């Protein structure tokens, strides 16, 4: 391997590592503060594409796995006003403003903590692409939040059954 | 009034007070709602009490706050859910109670009221006088979750306004 090839290979490797570091950059922010969902305990790295992060007016910061758990947190904290609500972009996993994001309700991809998926996209192009490929309807944050509350009864009942029903592994041997 | 009658009246009064105190025992133990902080004595006609399978209890002012607690604690199973009877204020089994959704009486923590009655006749009487529809506990719970979006928004805005008025008053 001559000097030129070696330099090229090294440059490519460095660029790859820099890209990887940038892609992981989001992990260092909100996920460091809240690695698991405050309500259901689910891993917020695994669910980076649906995770949410809310900052209240008293400075309290809460990390959740999904819009379902955000809806619960907002209802449990009526004394606080959210000053910022962010959602993980479905494509890049980076936190984006939930209120200006393009939301998709439904589609063939199973939701997080819910039967009906609710996904946030920074770009409308990707939201439309998702709908073309997997179905669902375009919505605003307000519409997605309302849909989360509407299915809360069914989703909570299902989640409780999943959590409290012993699995095969739990059965006495 | 002779001495015998007076004693009988006094005993009856004492029994009434004792009965009322016993019926409101949960209010003494948990005077305010875990979530919104509202007085459970003032809202004894809508208050709720849930006992989970691990023995823990949670006292709320209304079915709205109960719904929040059930959503927060999905890892626990409720062993019993009780509600204050709209008329007698005594705690009754929420799942066996006769519920009324809506009507012209303002709800607690909700625009759409949800009331529980131990007796069906009393629920029907309420509907006759105030409107609303008869429902099961499950239907009332579903309605509580469905109206949570607007209710949460409304409560937050109301509290924000109160805070602002308070701050203006201090200036």
- Would residue A106 be called left, alpha or beta, if left means φ above 0 and alpha means ψ between -120 and 50 degrees? left
Residue A76 with chain B: CB contacts under 8 Å = 35, 68, 72
ipTM: 0.78
Nearest chain B Cα distance for residue A25, angstroms: 30
Each residue of B72-96: pLDDT tens digit?
999 899 999 999 999 999 999 999 9
pLDDT score for A167: 52
CB B151 within 8 A of CB B109: yes
Contacts of A156 in chain B (CB under 8 A): 70-71, 74, 145
Q: What is the DSSP string of B108-152?
A: SSSSS-EEEESSHHHHHHHHHHH--EEE-HHHHHHHHHHTHHHHH
Report chain A residues whose CB lies below 8 A from the CB of B68.
72, 75-76
Residue A169 confidence (pLDDT): 47
Listed by number, the residues of chain A in 51-90 with a beta carbon closer than 8 Å to a beta carbon of chain B are 71-72, 74-76, 78-79, 81
Closest CA to A95 of A42, A43, A53, A66: A53
Q: Does A140 touch chain B (CB under 8 A)?
A: no
* Kind plus residue range of the DSSP H or E element containing A87: strand A82-88
Share of chain B above pLDDT 70, in %: 85
| Token duo for residue B31 | 């005077």
Question: Tens digit of pLDDT for each residue in B111-152?
Answer: 999 999 999 999 999 999 999 999 999 999 999 999 999 998
Other CB atoms closer than 10 Å to residue A121's CB: what's the count? 23
Higher pLDDT, B75 or B7: B75
Looking at the predicted structure, is the pLDDT value of residue A139 above 60?
yes
pTM over 0.90, yes/no: no
pLDDT at B170: 62
pLDDT over 80 at A105, yes or no: yes
Q: Which residues of A touch B159 (CB under 8 A)?
A: 78-79
pLDDT top residue among A30 and B164:
A30
Distance CA B94, CA B55 (A): 18
Question: Residue A156 is nearest to which of B37, B70, B152, comparing CB atoms?
Answer: B70
At a CB cut-off of 8 Å and minimum separation 6, what does B66 contact?
Answer: B48, B50, B58, B60, B81, B144
Q: Please give the torsion angle defined by the CA atoms of residues B94, B79, B70 and B106, in that order, rounded to the nearest 10 degrees.
A: 20
- Does residue A156 sit at the B interface (CB-CB below 8 Å)? yes
pLDDT tens, residue by residue, A143-162: 999 999 999 999 998 988 88
Q: Minimal CA–CA distance to B63: which of B149, B143, B132, B153?
A: B143
Q: How much is the pLDDT for A1?
A: 64
The pLDDT of residue B154 is: 87
Between B133 and A22, where is the model more confident? B133
pLDDT at A24 over 80: no
Q: Average pLDDT for residues A92-98, to the nearest whole number?
A: 96
């Amino acid at each position: 391997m001559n000097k030129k090839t070696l330099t090229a290979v090294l440059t490519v490797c460095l660029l790859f590592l820099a890209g990887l570091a940038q892609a992981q950059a989001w992990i260092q922010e909100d996920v460091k503060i809240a690695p698991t969902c405050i309500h259901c305990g689910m891993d917020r790295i695994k669910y980076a594409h649906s995770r949410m992060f809310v900052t209240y007016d008293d400075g309290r910061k809460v990390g959740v796995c999904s819009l379902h758990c955000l809806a619960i947190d907002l209802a449990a904290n009526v004394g606080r006003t959210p000053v910022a609500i962010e959602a993980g972009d479905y494509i890049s996993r980076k936190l984006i403003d939930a209120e200006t994001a393009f939301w998709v309700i439904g589609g063939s991809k199973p939701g997080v903590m819910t039967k009906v998926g609710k996904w946030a996209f920074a770009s409308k192009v990707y939201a439309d692409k998702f709908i073309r490929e997997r179905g669902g309807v375009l919505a605003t944050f307000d519409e997605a939040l309302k849909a989360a509350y509407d299915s809360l009864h069914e989703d909570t009942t299902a989640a409780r059954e999943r959590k409290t029903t012993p699995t095969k592994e739990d059965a006495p041997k | 009034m002779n001495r015998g009658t007076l004693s009988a009246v006094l005993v009856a009064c004492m029994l009434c007070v004792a009965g009322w105190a016993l019926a409101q025992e949960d209010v003494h133990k948990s005077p305010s709602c875990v979530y919104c902080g509202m007085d459970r004595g003032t809202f004894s006609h809508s208050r709720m009490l849930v006992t989970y399978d691990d023995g823990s209890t949670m006292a709320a002012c209304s079915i709205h706050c109960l719904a929040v607690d059930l959503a927060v604690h999905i890892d626990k199973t409720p062993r019993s859910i009780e509600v204050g009877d709209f008329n007698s204020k005594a705690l009754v089994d929420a799942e066996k109670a006769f519920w009324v959704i809506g009507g012209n009486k303002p709800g607690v923590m909700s625009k759409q009221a949800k009331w529980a009655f131990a007796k069906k006749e009393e629920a029907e009487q309420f509907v006759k006088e105030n409107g609303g529809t008869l429902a099961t506990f499950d239907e009332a719970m579903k309605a509580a979750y469905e109206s949570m979006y607007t209710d949460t928004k409304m409560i937050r805005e109301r509290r924000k306004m109160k805070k602002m008025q308070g701050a203006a008053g201090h200036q």
